[in-house]
Amino acid sequence: MKLDMLVVGAGFAGIYQLYKAREAGMSVKVLEAGEGIGGTWFWNRYPGARCDVESLDYSYSFSRELEEEWEWSERYASQAEILRYMNHVVDRFELRDGIELNARVTAAHYDEDHSLWHVRTADGRHHEATWLVMATGGLSVPQKPSLKGLDEFKGPWYHSARWPTEGVDFTGQRVVMIGTGSSGVQMTPEIAAQARQLTVLQRTANFSVPAHNVPFTPEALKAAKARYSERRAMGREAITGQFLNANTKTAAEMTPEEQMAELEYRWRGAGGGFRMLRAFADQMSRLSTNRLVAEFARRKIREVVKDPRKAEILCPKDDLPFGTKRLCVDTNYYESFNLPHVDIVDIAANPLVEATPKGVRLTSGEIEFDALVFATGFDAMTGALKSIDLRGEGGVLLRDKWEHGPTSYLGIGIAGFPNLFVVAGPGSPSVLSNMVHSIETHVDWIMKLIHTAQAREARRVAARQEAEDAWVQRCADEAGKTLYPQANSWYMGANIAGKPRVFMAFVSGVPLYRRIIEEVAANNYQGFDIA
């Protein structure tokens, strides 16, 4: 049966897309690879997994009733609580029967003669739809490093993004963990609390800031909810789609005492988390200002970590501007290294050579342990889309089109791939923003475009190549005005060997981006052919 719409992925994006398409009276189905809904929050169930965007912001805003009735228990929600929330949303809005689980999409081919998409799943099933929405997420294809001889290792190994559902008990074990991004930083204190010994292998030190997570008291939650619409409105006008009380002054406009007071406020309890990215208006564009923040953060690390050897390894180097690799937000990460059984090893200086039956060999010698944990991240932004045999007009394979990096128009449409939309894809603020906010913005916009096409009885909606080229250039130009491209980050594709080095997100913020896409819509969807 031909559907109006197929959606790939049942995370935050796919669930909201299903809700909106049903509200519009469309026939729609979501195909989800996992055996449960939740996307990133289904797969990433490693110890300590928690969202580092505050729960009151990292949640749907489309339903006032939902906002009212759901009670977040903490300032930053745990993976388990977010997954409960997503399941609640699916049941509350009666969406479950629109989602097919265990349905990994392996191919999607555009049929030019009939203006529709043929979609196949791993078990050989075939579906057809006019519209195809890729809600596949930016961080859904895990990266296991090609550690030589891994098969030789006799103990168990785990990846943060494929954690066993039943959990892992490390009590009494010697554990080695590779990777110090957000996942590794969140896991460290949790594994340290169980293991007999934890050795963290770090290739690049990144900055991490304290979350200051707290449970909500009923009074605090009630007060926050009383001003929820104001909070959402402030979020919409903030660069990352969440209100972080951004300082509008540049560092040069402040005295050294004012600068320090600003930084202290952001590091301490009243601030915390991503507020540290907004201490000065020019901190992501002027190196001298960024260095003030970086030096402040290094001082804090040295204050917390008592062993100077460990502290020096944990301090990010001067060639990594603060925040240009995704900032980590932690609870007791640096403090964990004050425990005698927790150590950090700099594998840039002392490289990892291979796995052995009892552990791993570094240049300096072998470390023996019982269990190995990979916190080595993802083939970010493009991994999920490129893993599908996704073919547009003329049979062009997306994988080939994106050989030199992802290209799109507004991060939503891809020239040559009509009637296909990407939610929070490369070329949009996506991973630099509060994802749930960006997802709602995209889905609402996509639905309006579809309504426009339907009202005109159009069968084909496609981004124009020249519009895509101009947008790709604009994204690169905007990124070039910032310090972001200086880092070897996953934003740049630098964490995957051989991946093209391109800054993959729209860097200039949620409010500007929203104004651009609203103008495009107001100008008759300039840059799209609606035929």
* Window 15-54: contact mask with ligand N01 (x via CB under 6 A): -----------------------------------xxx--
Contact 129, 117 (CB under 8 A): yes
Number of residues that bind ligand N01 (CB under 6 A): 24
Q: Return d(Cα 240, Cα 431) in angstroms, integer.
A: 9
Q: Which tokens sit at 485?
A: 């491209």
**Are β-strands 371-374 and 126-134 bridged in parallel, bridged antiparallel, or unpaired?**
unpaired
CA distance readout (Å), 472 to 239, 324, 500, 516, 528: 20, 20, 14, 14, 15
**Are β-strands 174-178 and 157-159 bridged in parallel, bridged antiparallel, or unpaired?**
unpaired
- State the DSSP H helix or E strand holding residue 236, giving kind and residue range, or none if neither: helix 228-236
**Are β-strands 126-134 and 420-422 bridged in parallel, bridged antiparallel, or unpaired?**
parallel
Is there binding between residue 242 and ligand N01 (CB under 6 A)? no
Name every residue whose Cβ is closer than 8 Å to that of residue 233 and which is 6 or more positions away in sequence.
none
Min. distance of Cβ 470 from ligand N01 in angstroms? 28
Min. distance of Cβ 344 from ligand N01 in angstroms? 12
**Between 153 and 417, CB nearer to ligand N01:** 153
Contact 423, 13 (CB under 8 A): yes
Is there binding between residue 240 and ligand N01 (CB under 6 A)? no
**Between 50 and 401, CB nearer to ligand N01:** 50
- State the DSSP H helix or E strand holding residue 258, giving kind and residue range, or none if neither: helix 256-267
Is there binding between residue 188 and ligand N01 (CB under 6 A)? no
Is there binding between residue 183 and ligand N01 (CB under 6 A)? yes
Q: How many helices (H) and strands (E) does the chain have?
A: 16, 20
Is there binding between residue 472 and ligand N01 (CB under 6 A)? no
**Between 31 and 209, CB nearer to ligand N01:** 209
**Between 88 and 162, CB nearer to ligand N01:** 162
Strand, helix or coil for residue 233: helix
Is there binding between residue 86 and ligand N01 (CB under 6 A)? no
User: Which of 179, 204, 203, 206 has its CA nearest to residue 298?
Assistant: 206
**Between 30 and 178, CB nearer to ligand N01:** 178
Is there binding between residue 290 and ligand N01 (CB under 6 A)? no
Position among 11, 14, 137, 181 found at the interface with ligand N01 (CB under 6 A) = 181
Q: Return d(Cα 137, Cα 437) in angstroms, integer.
A: 14
Min. distance of Cβ 117 from ligand N01 in angstroms? 29
Q: Which residue is nearest to ligand N01 (CB)?
A: 181
Is there binding between residue 315 and ligand N01 (CB under 6 A)? no
Position among 140, 182, 247, 259 found at the interface with ligand N01 (CB under 6 A) = 182
Position among 98, 184, 383, 493 found at the interface with ligand N01 (CB under 6 A) = 184
Min. distance of Cβ 495 from ligand N01 in angstroms? 4
Strand, helix or coil for residue 381: coil
Residue whose pair of structure tokens reads 């609390």 in the numeric block? 193
Range in contact with ligand N01 (rule: CB under 6 A) among 98-106, 228-236, 376-384, 399-407: 376-384
Is there binding between residue 280 and ligand N01 (CB under 6 A)? no
Q: Return d(Cα 430, Cα 436) in angstroms, integer.
A: 9
Q: Return d(Cα 190, Cα 178) in angstroms, integer.
A: 15
Is there binding between residue 251 and ligand N01 (CB under 6 A)? no
Contact 79, 50 (CB under 8 A): yes
Range in contact with ligand N01 (rule: CB under 6 A) among 176-184, 223-231, 281-289, 410-418: 176-184
Is there binding between residue 434 and ligand N01 (CB under 6 A)? no
CA 389 to chain centre: 23
Beta strand residue intervals within 9-156, DSSP E: 28-31, 99-100, 105-111, 116-121, 126-134
What torsion, rounded to 10 degrees, do the Cα atoms 198, 200, 201, 204 define?
180
**Between 56 and 375, CB nearer to ligand N01:** 375
Position among 209, 305, 360, 375 found at the interface with ligand N01 (CB under 6 A) = 375
Is there binding between residue 377 and ligand N01 (CB under 6 A)? yes
Is there binding between residue 78 and ligand N01 (CB under 6 A)? no
Residues 124-163 that bind ligand N01 (CB under 6 A): 139, 145, 160
Q: What are phi and psi of 278, to 5 degrees?
A: -125, 30
**Between 86 and 95, CB nearer to ligand N01:** 86
Residues 203-222 that bind ligand N01 (CB under 6 A): 203-204
Residue whose pair of structure tokens reads 């907004």 in the numeric block? 278
Q: What are phi and psi of 109, to 5 degrees?
A: -120, 135
* Strand order, beta sheet including 371-374: 157-159, 371-374, 174-178, 197-202, 342-346
Min. distance of Cβ 380 from ligand N01 in angstroms? 7
Contact 279, 262 (CB under 8 A): yes
Is there binding between residue 490 and ligand N01 (CB under 6 A)? yes
Is there binding between residue 499 and ligand N01 (CB under 6 A)? no
Range in contact with ligand N01 (rule: CB under 6 A) among 31-39, 172-180, 261-269, 450-458: 172-180
Is there binding between residue 326 and ligand N01 (CB under 6 A)? yes
Interface with ligand N01 by CB under 6 A: which residues?
50-52, 139, 145, 160, 178-184, 186, 203-204, 326, 375-378, 431, 490, 495
